[in-house]
Amino acid sequence: MILIGLTIILYALVAWLMLTAWQRRDGTLGLSLQAATREILHLLPRLALGVIGSGFIAKALPQDQILGLFGSGSGILGVALAALAGALTPGGPVVGFALGAAALKAGAGLPQVMSFVTGWSLYTLNRMLIWELPFMPSWFVRLRILVSLPFPFITAGLVYLALQWR
């Protein structure tokens, strides 16, 4: 139900922005639609490959190891390992989310997968080494990591609680 409500809000926001752009009568709406079309055409093949690839990855992953390391019974250690695996996973959303979906299909627990995705989005080592450390002071990067450390655990805990309420 929440998902439907958020979707309606998102569509209403898009409609309002389109109306605002149309009212400007300066070509903003046409340029926006062209840019959106370019983005969709750019992302669609990657999204298709990610979705199809996650199915192949799920079949290739050893289910007994996934269940042992990241299954529902792996507890806090599984959450920590999932966050670490997320930090070590390079690539964009197609890679991160596809691996998360594949892990779910292979038997990983939802709190562990959410920890993986959170760790991937917050700590990606690749991004840190290529973008953050060369452009920001190292004390700032260390502070950002320190402040972000509890979030995979908080996320996993909230998912666990949400699963208990179902």
pLDDT, tens digit (0-9, with 9 covering 90-100), for 2-24: 779 889 999 999 999 999 999 99
Domain boundary among 12, 42, 57: 57
Regarding whether 93 and 19 lie in a shared domain, the answer is: no
pLDDT at 68: 79
Give DSSP secondary structure letters for 93-109: HHHHHHHHHHHHHTT--
Whole-number Å distance between alpha carbons of 163 and 153: 15
Number of domains the chain is built from: 2
The range of the structural domain enclosing residue 9 comes to 2-57
Regarding whether 140 and 73 lie in a shared domain, the answer is: yes
Regarding whether 84 and 41 lie in a shared domain, the answer is: no
Regarding whether 83 and 41 lie in a shared domain, the answer is: no
Whole-number Å distance between alpha carbons of 138 and 121: 19
Regarding whether 82 and 50 lie in a shared domain, the answer is: no
Regarding whether 109 and 69 lie in a shared domain, the answer is: yes
pLDDT at 34: 96
Residues of the chain predicted below pLDDT 70: 58
Regarding whether 69 and 41 lie in a shared domain, the answer is: no
Regarding whether 70 and 14 lie in a shared domain, the answer is: no
Whole-number Å distance between alpha carbons of 108 and 85: 13
Domain boundary among 30, 57, 84: 57
Neighbours of 42 (CB within 10 A): 9
What is the pTM (predicted TM-score) of this model? 0.73
**Residue 162: partners with Cβ closer than 8 Å, 6 or more residues away:** none
Regarding whether 53 and 85 lie in a shared domain, the answer is: no
Q: Could you report how far apart the first and last alpha carbons of the chain are, in Å? A: 13
pLDDT at 133: 93
Domain boundary among 42, 57, 72: 57
Whole-number Å distance between alpha carbons of 65 and 73: 12
Regarding whether 92 and 26 lie in a shared domain, the answer is: no
